[in-house]
């Protein structure tokens, strides 16, 4: 690629997250960077879009080959605003993250980080989501700088298959302990959840969601296995949710509509 690529960067932890700062730093080595990120944390927002209130953009910084905005919307809104209002065209690449916490296994379904990536994918733009399995604000993102840069370089040089984006998860271990990268499939895990049930001072009940992740799928070709064994997991992702294998089964139904 001779021309400097234009890279749109977003996340779901919000404009002030250290993971975003690190991803911006890496992205700027590769090209011009436009940042549009939520003004406040948006974890668990999945593919939500804002339709009830108008969206707004706020310019934070502008310098050579770099411009940074916050918005009052979700990660998916951020991608839409980045494309249609800031870039007014298609960036060459969309990056999302670095998320503070895992988006492996079933977490991808709830993830705002990965929803931003899927939104770019729907629009035909190569896109990668990065997540580090460390929820803390002090997470050490420097250890994985080299891996993230190599994944970005590969996508810029090789592209991605049509309709495919990437979900990259990184174990929270020292750089020396990382064994490499595994291209794998999403593990069939789920959350074993409950609600913490409380009563407010006005004697009304309220509920906080709590839960533990249960990995019910320990096969060696899964992202959960890769991460548990100190590999970085790379799952190619698409937005065709069809369970193709189930079509023939359901076609056998007897329908009796008068």
Report, in Å, the least distance between residue 221 CB and its own copies: 8
Report, in Å, the least distance between residue 182 CB and its own copies: 9
Total residues in contact with its own copies, by rule CB under 8 A: 81
Report, in Å, the least distance between residue 208 CB and its own copies: 6
Q: Residues 79-86: contacts with CB within 8 Å, 24+ apart? A: 79/8, 79/10, 79/36, 79/116, 79/119, 79/120, 79/123, 80/49, 80/119, 81/36, 81/55, 81/57, 82/8, 82/10, 82/34, 82/36, 83/8, 83/123, 83/125, 85/57, 86/8, 86/34, 86/36, 86/57
Q: Which stretch binds its own copies (CB under 8 A): 2-10, 30-38, 129-137, 163-171?
A: 163-171
Q: How many CA atoms lie within 13 A of 142 on its CB side?
A: 1
Q: Please enumerate in sequence order all residues whose Cβ is within 8 A of that of 241, keeping only pairs 6 or more positions apart, or say none.
A: none
Instruction: Give the x/- contact pattern for its own copies in 231-250, rule: CB under 8 A.
Output: ---xxxxxxxxxxxxxx-xx
The smaller minimum CB distance to its own copies, of residues 63 and 196, is found at 196
Q: Looking only at residues 119 through 148 of this chain, which bind its own copies when binding is defined by CB under 8 A?
A: 122-123, 146-147
Q: Looking only at residues 179 through 208 of this chain, which bind its own copies when binding is defined by CB under 8 A?
A: 180-181, 183-186, 188, 190, 193-195, 197-198, 204-208
Question: Quick check: 219 binds its own copies (CB under 8 A)?
Answer: no
């Amino acid at each position: 690629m001779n021309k400097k690529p234009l890279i749109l960067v977003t996340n779901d932890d919000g404009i002030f997250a250290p993971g975003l700062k690190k991803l911006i730093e890496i992205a700027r080595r590769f090209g011009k960077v436009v940042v549009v990120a939520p003004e406040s944390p948006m974890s668990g927002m999945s593919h939500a879009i804002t339709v009830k209130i108008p969206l707004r953009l706020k310019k934070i910084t502008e310098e050579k080959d770099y411009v940074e905005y916050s918005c009052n919307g979700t990660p998916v809104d951020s991608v839409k605003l980045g494309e249609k209002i800031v870039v007014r065209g298609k960036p060459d690449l969309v990056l999302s993250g670095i998320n503070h916490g895992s988006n492996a296994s079933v977490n991808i379904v709830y993830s705002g980080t990965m929803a931003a990536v899927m939104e770019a994918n729907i629009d035909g733009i190569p896109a990668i989501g990065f997540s580090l399995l460390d929820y803390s604000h002090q997470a050490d993102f420097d250890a994985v700088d080299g891996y993230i840069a190599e994944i970005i370089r590969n996508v810029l040089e090789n592209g991605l298959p049509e309709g495919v984006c990437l979900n990259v998860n990184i174990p929270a271990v020292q750089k020396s302990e990382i064994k490499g990268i595994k291209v794998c499939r999403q593990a069939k895990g789920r959350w074993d959840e409950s609600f913490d049930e409380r009563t407010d001072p006005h004697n009304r009940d309220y509920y906080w969601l709590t839960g533990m992740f249960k990995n019910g799928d320990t096969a060696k070709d899964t992202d959960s296995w890769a991460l548990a064994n100190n590999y970085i997991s790379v799952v190619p992702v698409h937005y065709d949710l069809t369970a193709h294998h189930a079509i023939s089964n359901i076609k056998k139904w007897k329908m009796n509509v008068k």
